[in-house]
Amino acid sequence: MQRAQAELRDSLQGKPMVTDDDLTNLSYLKLVIRETLRLYPAVPLLLPRECRETCKVMGYDVPKGTTVFVNAWAMGRDPKNWVDAGAFKPERFESGTVDFKGSSFEFIPFGAGRRMCPGITFAQANMELVLASLLYHFDWELPLGAAPSELDMTEEMGLTIRMKKGLHLRPVIRVPLQAAP
């Protein structure tokens, strides 16, 4: 988080707020979002698909007409595709060869092909702007007495993935918001 905040604050140089134009210079912030989506895709099981013809998937015969679910959560944590798969390392995306636009099939938090999420561009812009604003304007602290090692990162599965126990952070204003004219 500190590296993303430093990038933001260096780039914005005291501006009163983050704008869309600022996002192009925030490469590390984009890496953080990709890594977050790899480990915690919003929807763990993508929309079901029906096999149009009999095929083999990972050595299994799949008959025509079978409904298949793609597990984006498991794909993002597969050690065959990711070195140190369980660790949060945004730098793994620095090469730029893996993106979430559906062409890298080991990383498809928005799906791929004809059924790819139509709101991907909107979602990406919103994630970047909201995260950039939160990191720019605030420093974030754990509640008094809490240590990072004590955080319970247990997930709860449902239609979406969420933490079983909420994460409570305390915002500390760093760059005050200014009212619009």
Task: Quick: pLDDT tens for 127-171.
Answer: 999 999 999 999 999 988 788 888 888 988 888 888 898 888 999
- In terms of C-beta density within 10 A (0-12 exposed, 13-18 middle, 19 or more buried), how is residue 126 classed? exposed
Looking at residue 179, what is its pLDDT? 66
Q: Which residues contact 74 (CB under 8 A, 6 or more apart)?
A: none
Res 181: pLDDT = 60
Task: Tell me the HSE value of 43 on the side-chain side, using a 13 A CA sphere.
Answer: 13
| Per-residue pLDDT at 99 exceeds 80 | no
In a domain, 31, yes or no: yes
Task: Identify whether 122 is part of a domain.
Answer: yes
Identify whether 83 is part of a domain.
Answer: yes
Q: Which residues are annotated as a binding site for heme?
A: 117
Q: Which residues are annotated as a binding site?
A: 117
On the question of pLDDT at 76 being above 90, the answer is yes
pLDDT band at residue 31, thresholds of 50, 70 and 90? very high
CATH of the domain at 121: 1.10.630.10
Domain count, the chain: 1
Least confident of 20-24, 72-76, 79-83, 172-176: 172-176
Distance CA 117, CA 114 (A): 9
Instruction: Report the mean per-residue pLDDT for the chain.
Output: 90
DSSP 143: P
| pLDDT at residue 178 tops 80 | no
- Rounded to the nearest 10 degrees, the angle between the axes of helix 27-39 and helix 120-137 is 110
Residue 179 lies in a domain: no
Determine, yes or no, domain membership for 148. yes
Residue 91 covered by a domain:
yes
pLDDT attached to residue 42:
86
Query: Which domain range does residue 111 map to?
Result: 2-173
- Quick check: is 19 in a domain? yes
